[in-house]
């Protein structure tokens, strides 16, 4: 299956992606994770992306598109993939279409996880990541076990200020790709509020998968 997960920051894309890739056995392609790895490694891409990310802006299309176009050509993506956080702009969506067309493949579905703006800041500021396992926690909604609390990371852009900037970008740049996919009959809307397990069940059902 070739899938895209769309949603505002903190919608639960990473959380749901973990369940989905396990179920589907396809690679999880998170452009946020790829860009953070480039920043941590100090690559040319990382140096260019860092400022945009810290401020809660979008990294420019010319930097992000090639990462994904090259990644989906790799052999582990032949049977499918789950894109998380890409595309985030209309030009990214069009570039992905061209790349898939050239490869003779097509998307199966685009899942939008919907969460109202007023819930987003609390989700983002309480998010913590485990750098060893990649697991995503929340201080209130999904508290980490005590023994790993010391090693958890708080993302630099998970501040209230950067979160509000990201939310604004989501509405101005990313939300317009939703009608683009709706017109193609690919869109599945999922309510992202409530128990993550229940959300996963709804998501599987929307994709025609058994839980």
Q: Which residues are tagged catalytic?
A: 13, 88, 127, 155, 166
- Residue 109 or 203: the one with the smaller Cβ distance to ligand ADP is 203
Contact range with ligand ADP by CB under 6 A, out of 10-18, 38-46, 74-82, 182-190: 10-18
Residue whose beta carbon is closest to ligand ADP? 32
Q: What's the CA angle centered on 3, arms 28 and 92, to 5 degrees?
A: 90
| Burial profile 164-180: b = 16 or more Cβ within 10 angstroms, e = fewer | bbbbebbeebbeebbeb
Site for ligand ADP contains 88 (CB under 6 A): yes
Q: Do β-strands 127-129 and 136-138 pair in parallel, antiparallel, or remain unpaired?
A: antiparallel
Work out how close the CB of 163 gets to ligand ADP at its nearest, in angstroms, rounded to a whole number: 8
Q: At residue 135, what are phi and psi to the nearest 5 degrees?
A: -65, 145
CA-based Rg of the chain, rounded to a whole angstrom?
Answer: 16
Q: Name every residue whose Cβ is closer than 8 Å to that of residue 139 and which is 6 or more positions away in sequence.
A: 126, 128
Site for ligand ADP contains 28 (CB under 6 A): no
Site for ligand ADP contains 64 (CB under 6 A): yes
- Binding residue for ligand ADP (CB under 6 A) from 86, 177, 200, 203? 86
Work out how close the CB of 44 gets to ligand ADP at its nearest, in angstroms, rounded to a whole number: 16
x/- binding map, residues 93-122, to ligand ADP, per CB under 6 A?
------------------------------
Site for ligand ADP contains 181 (CB under 6 A): no
Take residue 149 and report the two structure tokens written for it: 């609390």
Measured over the CA atoms of residue 28, residue 73, residue 61 and residue 94, the dihedral's sign is: negative
């Amino acid at each position: 299956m070739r899938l895209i997960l769309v949603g505002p920051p903190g919608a639960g894309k990473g959380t749901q992606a973990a369940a989905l890739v396990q179920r589907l056995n396809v690679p999880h392609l998170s452009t946020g994770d790829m860009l953070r790895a480039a920043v941590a490694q100090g690559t040319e891409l990382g140096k260019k992306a860092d400022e945009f990310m810290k401020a809660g802006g979008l990294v420019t299309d010319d930097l992000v598109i090639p990462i994904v176009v090259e990644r989906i050509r790799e052999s582990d993506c032949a049977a499918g993939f789950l894109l998380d956080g890409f595309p985030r702009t209309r030009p990214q969506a069009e570039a992905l279409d061209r790349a898939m067309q050239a490869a003779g493949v097509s998307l199966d579905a685009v899942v939008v996880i919907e969460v109202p703006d007023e819930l987003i800041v609390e989700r983002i500021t309480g998010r913590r990541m485990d750098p060893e396992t990649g697991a995503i926690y929340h201080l209130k909604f999904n508290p980490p076990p005590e023994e790993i609390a010391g090693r958890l990371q708080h993302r630099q852009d998970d501040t209230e200020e950067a979160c509000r900037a990201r939310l604004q970008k989501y509405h101005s740049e990313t939300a317009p790709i939703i009608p683009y996919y709706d017109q193609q009959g690919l869109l599945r809307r999922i309510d992202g509020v409530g128990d993550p397990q229940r959300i996963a069940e709804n998501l599987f059902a929307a994709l025609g998968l058994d839980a």
